Amino acid sequence: MLKQKIKELPKSAGVYQYFDEKNHLLYIGKAKNLSNRVKSYFQFTPELKPSPTLSARIHKMISETKYLEYIIVNSEHDALILENSLIKQLKPKYNILLRDDKTYPYIYFDENENYPRFEITRKIVAKKGIKYFGPFSVGSFEILDALYDIFPLVQKKSCLNSKKACLFYQIKKCLAPCEGKITPLEYMDIVKKAQNLITNKKELIRLLEEKMFALSQQLRFEEALVIRDRIEKIKKVVLSSDIDLAKIENFDIFVIEVQESKAIVVKTFLRDGKIISSSKEILNIDEKFDISECYKQLLLNFYTKEIPLTSTKVIVAFEFEDLEAIEELLSERFGKKISITVPKIGDKKKVLDLCIKNAQELLKIENRVKPSTILHEIQELFKLQNIPNKIEIFDCSHLSFEAIVGGMVVCEYEEFKKDDYKRYSLNGLDEYSQMKELLSRRALKFAENPPPDLWIIDGGKAQLNLALDIIQSSGSNIDVISISKEKLDFKAHRAKGSAKDIIYTEHDRFELLPTDKRLQFIQKLRDEAHRFAISFHRAKKAKQDREISLLKISGIGEAKLKKLIDFFGSFENIKKSNIDELSKVIDLNSAKKVVDFFGN
């Protein structure tokens, strides 16, 4: 009974989870004192109900809560870490999940080397004496290329291994430290000039424009175009300003602004009083949005142990709940004092106001674009828990159970995110087991790659139930639908505007008109997953066919190949087998040839 369980809660630090009557996870929260925190949500007399002091969002959540679970931890810091990890992995209905938790690139060089090179990294380099610049949301590679274009630095790692000057010396792009033509002290003067340009974009762009003009004067237009594109990429900062406040030094600034049904998250990075980069993330929001929770997740996701810490001073635009606890946790994580402030006066306030103004303007521009309603329509039609801003679509492909593969396609805010597509080699011998393997492998990665709002499965009711079982086993909170292809003459009918596919949800079955825009949107996603999976299958099959042809040349005939495939089930399994396993099916001499061919 919920009331009794609340009364029995310990006064320890921990994480609590609220569930509804259907066992769906509603919310994950952390507490310094579990008993006090959870009790603050409820009124106990004359009966258990939501506290009248709650906001409309929290009141609705507590009204849906039927039971709770909790995990005790050692400290409030541990509770913060566990809460953030579980939110990303399980995606509760009433928690905010920020999508942009990627790490940004940094430029660095090793101060201990006589002739250091500038490199790119996204994590801490495991050496002492590493100097970092960044983070850069855009343009890091272009800045790096520009440094090597403008200054006679060591152009490649391998150059220093040689004892003889190479082509780079002849074309005046390197001063041949390999032959001792420049001393380490002289070289470090060049490195200092180069590192000054990393944060001084205005000067860097001026030098690049001079070079572009010189190349065009020499009629070297292709090279000039390369420089032009590089300049454009370096200029591409969400927030640009002429601010140059030496007193401000290094600051990371995080601003969240809300207008109507959208929110914007803007990250801005100041180094040596100059804005070196900025990035934005647009969120579609509803009544469940909580700005405090958003700030908390934003900082915990950004400041991971793996990133180089180039600023210990953080500015935010809102005094969110748990600010001091986050400050203490980050200080403990990096072993140095991290300050998180909301400046009220002075130069820092001016910089923050500029960031807020830019965030508001970016959000206005975003809101001027007439929003598509298709995602809201799909949510309403299929009774989804959330707007399906991020969707993952799955399909399997094979030919007579050869070259069995699966594909996962990602659609975010109605756009395909091809960098996030995933390919899977599968072992299942029927379509059900193939889909089970595909979905299970994806679910196992929820901790590393948070789940989406919606899964779309290519298949019928059986595949839908399979997906729902896997989601339930993972503990995550994802909506699932499946789409079953209409068959014409035993073949899938995919013609846009005429295919009568069936869509299944957990409780309903939909046969929409072929002209229905909602059906066509789902079909478009399904067809992209099919295209992606089948292209991988064809590539894998072609590779297998080439290997089979080479095996035949090596003396393994078709009959022996058939025996091996019948016994091991797939070509992939043959490749993994050792000589003892192969010799159970074919003669020892042939088994040796197979092992030698694959290099087992």
Identify whether residues 353 and 427 lie together within a single domain.
Answer: no
Q: Give the other-Cβ count within 10 Å of 321's Cβ.
A: 14
Identify whether residues 362 and 380 lie together within a single domain.
Answer: no
Identify whether residues 117 and 223 lie together within a single domain.
Answer: yes
Identify the pLDDT of residue 271: 86
* Residue 308 belongs to domain with CATH number: 3.30.420
Tens-place pLDDT, residues 131-181 = 999 898 888 899 999 999 999 999 988 887 777 888 888 888 899 888 889
* Mutual angle of helices 140-150 and 221-235, in 10-degree steps: 130
Identify the pLDDT of residue 488: 56
Q: List, in sequence order, every beta strand (DSSP E) within 221-357.
A: 251-259, 262-271, 274-284, 313-316, 339-341
407 within a domain of the structure (yes/no): yes
Identify whether residues 490 and 565 lie together within a single domain.
Answer: no
* 362 Ramachandran zone, left/alpha/beta (phi>0; psi -120 to 50): alpha
57 within a domain of the structure (yes/no): yes
Identify whether residues 17 and 37 lie together within a single domain.
Answer: yes
85 within a domain of the structure (yes/no): no
Identify the pLDDT of residue 119: 94
Task: Show the low-confidence residues of the chain (pLDDT under 70).
Answer: 99-102, 237-248, 370-371, 401, 486-498, 547-554, 570-571, 599-600
95 within a domain of the structure (yes/no): no
Domain boundary among 25, 57, 75: 75
* Residue 532 belongs to domain with CATH number: 3.30.420.340
463 within a domain of the structure (yes/no): yes
Residue 495 CA, distance from chain mean position: 33
Identify the pLDDT of residue 580: 85
* Residue 15 belongs to domain with CATH number: 3.40.1440.10
Tens-place pLDDT, residues 299-321 = 999 998 888 999 999 999 999 99
Identify the pLDDT of residue 247: 56
Identify the pLDDT of residue 415: 92
84 within a domain of the structure (yes/no): no
Identify whether residues 344 and 286 lie together within a single domain.
Answer: yes
Predicted TM-score of the model (pTM) = 0.72
Residue 165 CA to residue 176 CA, distance in Å, equals 5
328 within a domain of the structure (yes/no): yes
Domain boundary among 75, 98, 130: 75
Identify the pLDDT of residue 267: 93
- Residue ranges making up the domain that contains 67: 2-75
Identify whether residues 70 and 161 lie together within a single domain.
Answer: no
Tens-place pLDDT, residues 57-78 = 899 999 999 999 999 999 999 9
Identify whether residues 43 and 185 lie together within a single domain.
Answer: no
Identify whether residues 269 and 348 lie together within a single domain.
Answer: yes
Identify whether residues 49 and 137 lie together within a single domain.
Answer: no
Residues contacting residue 599 through CB under 8 Å, at least 6 positions apart:
none
Identify whether residues 161 and 256 lie together within a single domain.
Answer: no
Domain boundary among 502, 517, 540: 540
546 within a domain of the structure (yes/no): no
**Count of domains for the chain:** 5
Identify whether residues 383 and 496 lie together within a single domain.
Answer: yes
Residue 422 CA to residue 310 CA, distance in Å, equals 33
